[in-house]
Copies of this chain bind each other. A is one copy, B any other.
């Protein structure tokens, strides 16, 4: 194998696939990146796979002799990222004349200033990235995907024991995608409009075959990052009962699906509310951030006092022995006055994930779920449970 490529494309593509390299690989080859140099296509394909998440990317290169091998991900990425801009030659130890393979998989990287040799491993040992051949295909709008992921990912659980809750649930509906994420304490549901429908868009949706999967949040975080750097407007999604593959131009992300029934979240969202607050998002968020300094000393509880007569929302915290705080902001409030307490971190998380100038909080009582929604933007519902406080 021998190829010449630019430092910038090799470096960018290495750091891209590196995200799928396990930090504690269960097999030595999984600490490596698979490199396939295709002489006919004059391109290089890099793959990394931690047995759950897989990332593949291709870029043009001057491939003198095709071939494949695996190279240590961290070492190669660290060296290449520090090289000056310019051409890099990669060559393995296989002897073309005698067709003798180098069993050390010693690969030589040459650039203007120097020469590095790195020990690789056989490409044969590298596991194939999952392929979905028999499953369904959907086409999703990149804009909707990014929007839905960015608004929902923060609500997924980071506690690995919570299994299905460590993912985001994606449902394809008649005219869009629905994203849901919950860690058991709060829930985000986002509905986005999807320009395209299931392949062969004219057919009515077959509910048996529609997209209805739970994908690990970690894979979707990588997907969102990759898509944000793309100029494509659509991605193809292939899925069956255990795997999902997102695919576009030169890149591919595969992920296992999370097994188990996702909670029936739609029934958790109340349909009617007796109280409503409309407030400026930034004003409310920065007041909560100050209140959080004191709440952090105690139990993270902030008390909201709704006063519809004065049209003022008061936030207060009482951290005994340390101090207390009170902030008042103007708000449009309808419904009877009420004191209701929340975990201040959950409220802040929701407000940070929203981009609009104004938000709306709707609720019924101090013990029933409240929902936060952006005003005049995507359809997002953020549900939080109030906290029960003595004397409430």
Residue of B whose beta carbon sits closest to that of A323: B118
* Residues of chain A from 108 to 160 with CB closer than 8 A to chain B in the complex: 113-119
Residue of B whose beta carbon sits closest to that of A327: B114
**Which of A106, A287, A315 has its CB near the most chain B CB atoms (within 10 A)?**
A287
Q: Out of B84, B118, B290, which one reaches A79, CB within 8 Å?
A: B290
The answer to whether A322 and B75 touch across the interface, beta carbons within 8 angstroms, is yes
What is the distance, in angstroms, from A208's C-beta to the closest C-beta of chain B? 52
The answer to whether B114 and A321 touch across the interface, beta carbons within 8 angstroms, is no
Whether a CB of chain B sits under 8 angstroms from the CB of A345 is no
Tell whether A79 pairs with B114 under 8 Å between CB atoms, given A84-B286, A286-B84. Answer: no
> How far is B79's CA from A114's CA once the two chains are assembled, in angstroms?
53
Tell whether A329 pairs with B294 under 8 Å between CB atoms, given A286-B84, A322-B119, A323-B119. Answer: no
Residue of B whose beta carbon sits closest to that of A287: B113
* Residues of chain A from 307 to 354 with CB closer than 8 A to chain B in the complex: 315, 321-329
Residue of B whose beta carbon sits closest to that of A116: B325
Whether a CB of chain B sits under 8 angstroms from the CB of A289 is yes
Whether a CB of chain B sits under 8 angstroms from the CB of A367 is no
> How far is B317's CA from A79's CA once the two chains are assembled, in angstroms?
13
The answer to whether A113 and B328 touch across the interface, beta carbons within 8 angstroms, is yes
> How far is B322's CA from A78's CA once the two chains are assembled, in angstroms?
14
Whether a CB of chain B sits under 8 angstroms from the CB of A5 is no
Copies of this protein in the assembly total: 2
Whether a CB of chain B sits under 8 angstroms from the CB of A297 is yes
Q: Out of B115, B287, B326, which one reaches A326, CB within 8 Å?
A: B115
* Residues of chain A from 68 to 111 with CB closer than 8 A to chain B in the complex: 72, 75, 78-79, 82-84, 106
The answer to whether B323 and A116 touch across the interface, beta carbons within 8 angstroms, is yes
Q: List 25 A-B contacts (CB under 8 A).
A: A75-B293, A75-B297, A75-B323, A79-B290, A79-B293, A79-B294, A82-B289, A82-B293, A83-B290, A84-B286, A113-B328, A113-B329, A114-B290, A114-B325, A114-B326, A114-B327, A114-B328, A116-B290, A116-B294, A116-B325, A117-B323, A117-B324, A117-B325, A119-B321, A119-B322
4 new A-B contacts at CB < 8 Å, known A79-B325, A113-B329, A116-B290 = A75-B294, A75-B297, A78-B293, A116-B326
Binding site for B on A (CB under 8 A): 72, 75, 78-79, 82-84, 106, 113-119, 286-287, 289-290, 293-294, 297, 315, 321-329
